[in-house]
Every structure is written in C-alpha cells, then in structure tokens.
C-alpha cells in the first residue's frame, strides 16, 4: 500500500521537467521564491533596454524606469526576457562573469 502513495524518483524528475518547461514557455522570466536558476546574459550581443511601464509609478506619478534584457537558461537553452532593476543592472556592469545563479525573491 505504501508504494501506491509514494512517488518514485522518476516521477519527481518528470514533474520537475514539466514545471521547468511551463516556467520557460512564458515570454518573460519570473524567478520563483526559494528556487535557484542558472542563466546566461550576453550584453555584448544583446542590448539591455530601458522600458517604462504605466502600471508602476513613483511618488510623483512618473512611470518607473526598469530595464529589460534577454537571458538564456543554461540547462535547456530557452531564451526569455527579464525585467531587471537599477541595482541589478549596476552589479552586472561591474561583473566579469556572464553566467549567473539567480535565486527568486
């Protein structure tokens, strides 16, 4: 009876692959809390573009400026867009590496 209620390692692996596929199928990368992702940025070939979204405004009512870049998931080669904040952009400018482990907030 315990075999019917326990999930095999293969089943857990399949579930994990399905979850990764669903996350990567969206146009935008949205890290989930507590989960770690390995991504690659290529600022030499892909521009980091400033964007403004009318939904998010500062205290003066002006749209908040964010930045959008293309990322590649190292494990499966999928590409997505990622909206990043100024502080992450500043850290990226000084970094020499191009592959990052990102943990969701």
pLDDT computed for residue 17 by the predictor: 80
Task: List the structure tokens of 103.
Answer: 């943990």
Task: List the structure tokens of 1.
Answer: 């009876």
pLDDT tens digits, one per residue of 31-47: 888 888 888 888 778 88
Q: What is the CATH number of domain 27-103?
A: 2.40.50
pTM of the model: 0.61
**Residue ranges covered by each domain of the chain:** 27-103
């Amino acid at each position: 009876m315990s075999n019917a209620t326990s999930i095999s390692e293969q089943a857990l692996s399949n579930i994990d692959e399905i979850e990764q596929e669903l996350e990567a199928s969206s146009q935008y990368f949205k890290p989930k809390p507590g989960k770690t992702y390995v991504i690659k940025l290529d600022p030499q070939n892909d521009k980091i573009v400033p964007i403004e979204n009318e939904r998010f405004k500062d205290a003066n009512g002006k749209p908040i400026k964010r930045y959008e870049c293309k990322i590649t998931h190292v494990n499966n080669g999928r590409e997505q867009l990622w909206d990043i904040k100024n502080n992450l952009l500043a850290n990226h400018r000084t970094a020499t590496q191009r592959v990052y482990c990102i943990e969701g907030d």
